[in-house]
Structure 1
């Protein structure tokens, strides 16, 4: 058993005890390249999102986390990789494309940072570049209840997985000034419109 499989099994058990709910799991493609576009309110979001899908996902995470002793090593062993925020990090882009072109699942937080209000923020157009270069489908995912997970999150941790969006479905109309920003906005809107888990 890999470290990823072991960690996933342990966290799934913990989350179930906390009343974790997942809706729309059957929307997740069983194969092929997928970008998980996830809202971001807590450091626990990638763990909860990864436990909610049947496939293994590799997450892009801020570079600073990998400089923390032990934790950075664990992140790397779990398939996460660093990105330098606020700039075009070509290494992170290349690694993302390698994952996607190999038919893997890439976890992204298109808002770029955690939302302080809990409201879903504007999405970064970088995910659109990755979608176009890899022909991956984008699956919007809405996570809630993770902000104060171990104090107020009991019975409130929910994940809603939306239907896949493809490049063909997200073509910007003629005359749009910034095509990738327009598409990113459509993806974020799809995330916002996901229903609350029942």
Structure 2
């Protein structure tokens, strides 16, 4: 058993009953090939919740600050997380993310870049659109519908994959591509409230 599988099992045992997690649409995540999984961001627990509900290993881009926390800096790389410097163009993080997708893996992103204080969906950053356009990945939108309250149901909804092949041909901008992704997350949130 890998460290990732072990951690996923332990975290599932704790979080699934605590938040009565209800997963919808996990069959929408392709079993193989590059996938860019884009979710709204309402809580610090979003990454582990996506990690335990996705049938595939999720490689997360995480804010650099968490890699300075003593225990986390050892554990996070084993969980396939890699750092990104927020608020600036981090070329190393961009290269790592593209490499993850080019190797046919699943990359998990929170396009808003930070947690929403209100729970409302915020504007997405261009990075999500950039990765969708620069690789052959399909985009799977995800909606986490809270609140994170003990023993109250929490929904994780995975939408149908979006093929960006046409958008790549049309040469849409990274901002436009991100808007397409954010609109699909918004739709999932509205349909599954």
CA contact (8 A) 1:40 1:109 kept: yes
1:172 deviates by: 9.2
Provide structure 1 residue ranges, at least 5 long, that are not aligned to the other structure: none
The match for 1:14 is 14
* Aligned equivalents of 2:173, 2:6: Cα separation in 1: 41
Question: Whose helix proportion is higher, 1 or 2?
Answer: 2
Provide structure 2 residue ranges, at least 5 long, that are not aligned to the other structure: none
| Partner-residue secondary structure (3-state), 1:159 | strand
1:183 to 155, 159, 177: 177
1:185 deviates by: 1.0
Alpha-carbon displacement from aligned partner over 1:67-118 (angstroms, at most 9, x marks no partner)? 0111121111111000001111000011101110000000101001110100
Q: TM-score, normalised by structure 2?
A: 0.92
The match for 2:146 is 145
Supply the RMSD in Å over aligned alpha carbons.
Answer: 1.8
1:42 deviates by: 0.9
1:166 deviates by: 1.6
User: Which is further off, 120-129 or 25-34?
Assistant: 120-129
Alpha-carbon displacement from aligned partner over 1:122-174 (angstroms, at most 9, x marks no partner)? 1111112112221101110011225xx3xx24232110000111213546979
* Aligned equivalents of 2:73, 2:16: Cα separation in 1: 27
User: Where in structure 2 are the equivalents of 1:60-79 lying within 5 Å?
Assistant: 60-79=61-80
User: Where in structure 2 are the equivalents of 1:37-76 lying within 5 Å?
Assistant: 37-76=38-77
* Aligned equivalents of 2:166, 2:150: Cα separation in 1: 35
Change (3 A) 1:20 1:169: farther
1:50 deviates by: 1.1
Q: TM-score, normalised by structure 1?
A: 0.90
| Partner-residue secondary structure (3-state), 1:59 | strand
The match for 2:159 is 162
Count of residues in correspondence between the two structures: 190
Change (3 A) 1:172 1:122: farther
